[in-house]
Amino acid sequence: MADFKFDIKENLGTISESNKGWTREVNVMTWNNKKPKVDIREWDEKHEKMGKGITLNKEELKKLKEILNAIDLDELKVE
Amino acid sequence: MADFKFDIKENLGTISESNKGWTREVNVMTWNNKKPKVDIREWDEKHEKMGKGITLNKEELKKLKEILNAIDLDELKVE
């Protein structure tokens, strides 16, 4: 499947697990041997197949953290 | 482009902007008129074109916030 190279360096946490066993995770990973970034994405159990997600550098991760900390999640009109 | 319907209800924050004017954003949005979820994704300036991203429900968003708050981002070996 992979015509590109990826390498999960460190799992920072698991967001959720689907009933099919796929997990949504926050990982430090590299793509095609480039410098490591943080990646938020869905994975199958063997971490061979992946779903869509987003890759963030450190500045972006800090900004995401800031955004999430500024919101009252309980008030959010979200399922 | 869109053979599915999407609707951005509320922008919760902008993570970054590329030199091509695309922005990475956290939005409350709906897909195909389903219930609103939180979405982290890249958009062109008119919010007509979108990049890959991830959609999270409230529980997942809380968990992501928890994970990010448990990490010392400055210590992360990430670009």
Asked whether residue A1 is assigned to any structural domain, the reply reads no
Taking alpha carbons only, the member of A51, A53, A40 closest to residue B68 is: A40
pLDDT along chain A (79 residues), means of 10: 83 96 97 94 95 96 97 92
Q: What is the pTM of this model?
A: 0.92
Burial B31-59 (b: 16+ CB within 10 A, else e): eeeeebbbbbbbbeeeeeebeebbebbbe
> Which stretches does DSSP call E strand in A18-79?
23-31, 37-43, 50-56
- Measured distance CA(A38)–CA(A15) in Å, rounded: 14
ipTM: 0.93
Chain B residues touching A61 at Cβ < 8 A:
68, 73, 76, 78
Which residue from B minimizes the CA distance to A57? B79
- Per-residue pLDDT at A8: 96
Question: Residue B1 pLDDT more than 80?
Answer: no
> B4 CB near a chain A CB, below 8 Å?
no
Range of the domain at A30: 6-70
Q: Which residues lie below 8 Å from residue B20, measured CB to CB, with a gap of 6+?
A: none
Do the strands A23-31 and A37-43 form a parallel or antiparallel pair, or are they unpaired? antiparallel
- The beta-carbon neighbor of B79 closest among A37, A54, A76 is A37
Q: How many domains does chain A have?
A: 1
Mean pLDDT calculated for residue range B58-70: 97
Record: contact A79-B54, CB cut-off 8 A: no
Helix (H) or strand (E) holding A60: helix A58-69
Asked whether residue B32 is assigned to any structural domain, the reply reads yes
Asked whether residue B77 is assigned to any structural domain, the reply reads no
Asked whether residue B78 is assigned to any structural domain, the reply reads no
CATH code of the domain covering residue B13: 2.30.31.70
- Mind listing the pLDDT tens digit for each residue in B5-45? 999 999 999 999 999 999 999 999 999 989 999 999 999 99
Chain A residues touching B68 at Cβ < 8 A:
26, 61, 64-65, 68
Asked whether residue A77 is assigned to any structural domain, the reply reads no
Asked whether residue A76 is assigned to any structural domain, the reply reads no
